[in-house]
Amino acid sequence: MKSLNLLVIAFLAITSCFAVDKNNFKSCDQSGFCKRLRPFKPEISQYVANLTTTSIFGNMLFLDVNTVDRESEKKTVLFRYVLKISSLVDNTFRVEMEESNPLYPRYVTQLALEDTPIGDEGLKKISSKDGKLVVANHNGLQVVITADPLKIEFLDKNGEVAVVLNENSQLLVEPLVAKHAKLNENGEEIPVEDGTWGENFKSHHDSKPRGNEAISLDIGFPDADNVYGIPEHTDKLALTTTTSGEPYRLFNLDVFEYELDSRMSIYGSVPVLYAHGTKRTVGVFWHNSAETWVDVVNIADGTVVSSLVNLVTGGNKRRVDTRFMSEAGMVDVFVMMGDTPSDVFRQYTTLTGVAPLPPIHIILIYRGGHIIRNSPHVGWIV
């Protein structure tokens, strides 16, 4: 028995020596924008659409969106934005939103798309009443825009909500601000320590000359059993609820001796997510190349949040809610309406192209550069 205990202790000591050191990689609390945005859960969204400004040009819809001060009686306008919804070929929609007159131009992701997305035959206005605007693409798939608070619903071919944006009021575009240095009595600049203009992690300093410019958007999938995607992680194929731990992190890292069943980022990051259920399969592509964290809440997981949802709705609902939080960039998301898995995969690869496979001989060269130790080892592999 004593020998067995010593063997177990030795095994644990050896494995711990080769395990990843998590202290070298950021957690959400150590990532400034994730720490700021994750607790952001207002009862009602500040974002309000002005439906009277709606204009449709071919396959593109434009309208003004404002943030309002909910605590003031006059609902004072705080910031102004432009919302653009495009209808693309193969039952895909694109939603973009940025400031009307930005202090700085927000970064637009480059190279992720294979080409400029092709528009379909056009958007058609169906109705505009009771604070809701309804438009449809040439196949009859409808988009319902609720003005106050802003909510965007994408309906499937049966007229049921398949994807919904900002239903949980977690849309946020951090306002861009100019830096005004504060001086002490000697005329020297007082350093700001709140992370607005720079952050530190261990020995690394990240300067932010434009201040905070993070974005957040919640995306819900009614009737979905599970969501998949947002590689690369070692977690389960079906993404798990994150309320009791870290969100999924999207940030390219070279992590040696990574852990299994973990949401920490590793070698790649692809912000595409698929939602599957008995009724349909849909997907979203978060077109953003900045560091991103993704929260997932699956109602079927039986968490406190899901229990509250079922209590309010009066039954066991199938639904998955997600939330994307990125350090910078603009709100830019593609909604792929499926409605089968093969349809969604085709719609995604139409946007980005298919992943090229490396030649077989390259695989051995790559393995040799990292793992092969000697000639006998080569023979064993061959």
The model's pLDDT over 75-86, given as tens digits with 9 standing for 90+, comes to 899 999 999 999
Amino acid 94: pLDDT: 98
Whether residue 90 is predicted with pLDDT greater than 50 in this model: the reply is: yes
pLDDT at 13 (0 to 100): 45
- Decide if pLDDT at 369 tops 90: no
What are the pLDDT digits (tens) for 145-172? 999 999 999 999 999 999 999 999 999 9
Closest CA to 334 of 167, 147, 117: 117
**Angle at alpha carbon of residue 278, lines to 277 and 282, rounded to 5°:** 45
pLDDT band at 200 (very low <50, low <70, confident <90, very high): confident
Whether the per-residue pLDDT at 174 is higher than 70: the answer is yes
Domains of the chain, by residue range, sit at: 29-175+208-352
Q: Does the pLDDT at position 189 exceed 70?
A: no
In b/e form, how buried is each residue of 67-85, taking b as 16+ CB within 10 angstroms?
A: bbeeeeeeeeeebebebeb
Class of domain 29-175+208-352: mainly beta
- The mean pLDDT value for 323-341 works out to 97
Question: DSSP letter at 72?
Answer: S
Between 255 and 19, where is the model more confident?
255
The residue type of 127 is S
Q: Which band of pLDDT confidence, cut at 50, 70 and 90, is reported for residue 21? A: confident
For residues 104 and 133, what is the distance between their CA atoms, to the nearest angstrom? 31
Q: Which residues contact 69 (CB under 8 A, 6 or more apart)?
A: 46, 75, 76, 78
Averaged pLDDT, 248-271: 89
pLDDT tens, residue by residue, 37-58? 999 999 999 999 999 999 999 9
Give the model's pLDDT for residue 8. 47
What is the pTM for the complete model shown?
Answer: 0.87
